[in-house]
Amino acid sequence: MSEQKTENENETAGGQSAVDRRVGRILREETEMLTLTGKEIKDLAEAVGLVIAPHDYTDEMETEMTIIECPVAGVLDDNGKATHYAHVAYLSEYPEEGTFPLGEELCPKCKKPWLEHDFGVPAPTC
């Protein structure tokens, strides 16, 4: 039996599925998730020394974000290129709105930041 791809899923060169960052169809049952409210995210930001400008963020404090490991095949950027990160986040209530990559883009082969490679080309040791 062949498995049909959804309209939100695309093929990468290796035949693995990649997830469109704009659509955010990244939920996988085997992926561990961490869901934080805006208030918890603000608390973490302040814990590392960031200063959040005073403003009435009442509604945003209740908004939940879910953080998961980036899918093995990566997420597609706005140009349709598969990109890889350690983690991605999405609005828990609206996963279809897209994902937010967290941290630096990683080399898909060695999982090191691209900045450790010459001109964005995988190092020979990958």
pLDDT digits (tens, 9 = 90+) for 14-49: 333 445 544 344 444 457 899 999 999 999 999 999
Question: Backbone phi, then psi, for 60, in 5-degree steps?
Answer: -65, -30
What pLDDT is stored for residue 8 in this prediction? 39
pTM, to two decimals? 0.67
Q: Which positions of the chain have pLDDT values less than 50?
A: 1-18, 21-29
Alpha helices in 4-74 (DSSP H): 38-47, 58-62
What pLDDT is stored for residue 121 in this prediction? 60
Task: Please name every residue paired with 84 in a beta bridge, in sequence order, or none if there are none.
Answer: 106
Question: Backbone phi, then psi, for 114, in 5-degree steps?
Answer: -55, -30
Question: Rounded to whole angstroms, how far apart are CA atoms 105 and 4?
Answer: 29
**How many CB atoms are closer than 10 A to CB 75?**
25
